[in-house]
A and B are shown apart, each in its own frame.
Chain A
Amino acid sequence: MTAIDTDRVHVLGVRHHGPGSARAVRAALREIGPDAVLVEGPPEADVLAGMVGEAEPPVALLAHAPGAGGGAGRAAFWPFAVFSPEWQALLYAHEHGCRVRFCDLPAAHLLTLEEGAGGAPAGSGRPADPLGALAEAAGHGDPERWWEDAVEHRGGDGGAGSPFPAVAEAMAEARARLAPGPPPLHEARREARMRTVLRSALRAGHRRIAVVCGAWHAPALLDPPPASGDRELLRGLPRVKSSVTWIPWSHGRLAAGSGYRAGVRAPGWYHHLFTAPDRPVERWLVEAARRLRAEGAEVSSEHVIEGVRLAEALAALRGRPLPGLEEAADAVSSVLCEGSAERAALVHRALTVGERLGSAPTSAPAVPLQRDLEAQRRRLRLRAEAEPREIELDLREESGRARSVLLHRLRILGVHWGVPAADPVRALGTFRERWRLAWDPELSVALVEAGVWGNGIAEAAEARARELASGADLPALTSLTERCLLAGLDGVLEEVLAALSARAARGGGVGPLMAAVPPLARAARYGDVRRTGSAALRAAAGALLDRIRAGLGPALTGLGEEAAVGAAADVDAVHRAAVLLGGDAERSWLDALERLAPDPALPGLVAGRIHRLLRDAGRLDGGEAADRLALAVSPGAPPRRATAWLEGFLADGGLLLAHDPALLALVDEWLAGLDGAAFTSVLPLLRRTFGAFTAGERAEIGRRARARGAPGGAGREPEPAADPARAAAAAATAALIIRTAKERE
Chain B
Amino acid sequence: MTGPDDVLRPHAEQRFAGELAALAAEDGRPRPPGWRLSPWAVSRYLLGCTLGDGTVVTPKYIGARRIVEVAVATLATDRALLLLGVPGTAKTWLSEHLAAAVSGDSTLLVQGTAGTTEEAVRYGWNYARLLSDGPSREALVPSPVMTAMAEGRPARVEELTRLPSEVQDALITVLSEKAMPVPELGTEVQARPGFTVIATANDRDRGVNEPSSALRRRFNTVVLPVPATAEEEVDIVTRRVADLGRSLGLPEVPAGLEEIRRVVTVFRELRQGATEDGRAAVASPSGTLSTAEAVSVLTHGLAMAAHFGDGVLRPSDVASGVHGAVVQDPVADGVVWREYLETVARTRPGWRDFYTACREAAG
Contact = CB atoms under 8 A, between A and B. Distances in A.
A339 B221 contact: yes
Given A306-B79, A313-B73, A339-B222, A546 B342 contact: yes
Contact of A339 (B79, B223, B335, B342): B223
Contacts of A481: none
Nearest to A300: B217
B339 A317 contact: no
B338 interface: yes
Interface string B62-77: 0000100110111011
A341 B73 CA distance: 20
A556 interface: no
Contacts of A309: 77, 79
Interface in A303-341: 303, 306, 309-310, 313-314, 316-319, 326, 330, 333-335, 337-339, 341
B43 interface: yes
Given A313-B39, A501-B280, A502-B280, A546 B77 contact: no
A434 interface: no
Nearest to A551: B335
B238 interface: no
B216 A338 contact: yes
Interface string A571-584: 00000000000000
A381 interface: no
B339 A501 contact: no
Contacts of A715: none
Interface in A544-561: 546-547, 549-551, 554
A88 B279 CA distance: 43
Contacts of B165: none
Given A310-B220, A505-B273, A546-B342, A554 B335 contact: yes
Contact of A547 (B72, B82, B343): B343
Contacts of A337: 221
B84 interface: yes
Contacts of A298: 213
A617 to B, nearest CB: 22
B70 A334 contact: yes
B40 A310 contact: no
A341 B221 CA distance: 11
Nearest to B342: A546
A326 B66 contact: yes
B203 A550 contact: no
A516 to B, nearest CB: 14
A317 B342 contact: no
Contacts of A334: 70, 74, 220-222
B221 A310 contact: no
B242 interface: no
A506 interface: yes
Given A310-B70, A550-B342, A551-B335, A505 B280 contact: yes
Contact of A550 (B70, B217, B335): B335
Given A334-B221, A501-B281, A310 B69 contact: no
Contacts of B84: 339
B332 interface: yes
A68 to B, nearest CB: 35
Contacts of A339: 82, 84, 203, 221-223
A566 interface: no
How extensive is the interface on chain B, given as a class? Answer: 35 or more
A314 B70 contact: yes
A330 B66 CA distance: 8
B304 interface: no
B131 interface: no
Interface string A479-496: 000000000000000000
B39 to A, nearest CB: 5
A309 B279 CA distance: 41
Most B Cβ at <10 Å: residue of A334, A335, A341: A334
A324 B221 CA distance: 20
Interface in A578-634: none
Nearest to A510: B335
Contacts of B179: none
B282 interface: yes
B120 interface: no
Interface in B103-132: none
B217 A303 contact: yes
A205 B74 CA distance: 61
B285 to A, nearest CB: 12
Interface hub of B43, B73, B223, B335 (most chain A Cβ within 10 A): B73
Interface string B123-144: 0000000000000000000000
B343 A546 contact: yes
Interface in B81-110: 82, 84
Interface residues of A, number: 37
A554 B331 contact: yes
B64 to A, nearest CB: 11
B283 interface: yes
Interface in B35-70: 39-40, 43, 66, 69-70
A133 to B, nearest CB: 21
Contact of B77 (A300, A302, A310, A326): A310
B335 A317 contact: no
Contacts of B70: 310, 314, 330, 334
A506 B39 CA distance: 41
Contacts of A503: 281
B325 interface: no
Contacts of B331: 554
B273 A551 contact: no
A550 B339 contact: yes
A506 B272 CA distance: 11
A389 B39 CA distance: 74
Nearest to A298: B213
A335 B220 contact: yes
A300 B273 CA distance: 33
A310 B73 contact: yes
B172 interface: no
A552 to B, nearest CB: 9
Interface string A270-310: 00000000000000000000000000001010110010011
Interface in B320-340: 331-332, 334-335, 338-339
Contacts of B203: 339
A313 B332 CA distance: 45
A341 B69 CA distance: 18
Contacts of B220: 306, 310, 334-335
Interface string B203-241: 100000000010011011111000000000000000000
A306 B77 contact: yes
Interface string B256-282: 000000000000000001100001111
A334 B82 CA distance: 9
A623 B41 CA distance: 82
- Among B84, B273, B281, B282, which residue has the most Cβ atoms of chain A within 10 A? B281
B317 to A, nearest CB: 25
A313 B77 contact: yes
A339 B204 CA distance: 13
Contacts of A313: 39, 73-74, 76-77
A507 B282 CA distance: 10
A679 B216 CA distance: 60
A323 to B, nearest CB: 10
A497 B40 CA distance: 50
Of residues A335, A341, A501, which shows the largest number of chain B Cβ atoms within 10 Å of its Cβ?
A335
A702 B274 CA distance: 58
Nearest to B338: A550
14 contacts: A306-B220, A310-B70, A313-B39, A314-B69, A330-B69, A334-B220, A338-B216, A338-B219, A339-B203, A341-B223, A503-B281, A505-B273, A505-B280, A506-B283
Given A319-B40, A326-B66, A549-B342, 5 more contacts: A309-B77, A313-B73, A338-B219, A339-B222, A543-B343
Kindly list the 9 A-B residue pairs having the minimum CB-CB distance in the complex, ordered from nearest. A339-B221, A505-B281, A502-B281, A313-B73, A550-B339, A551-B335, A314-B73, A550-B338, A334-B220
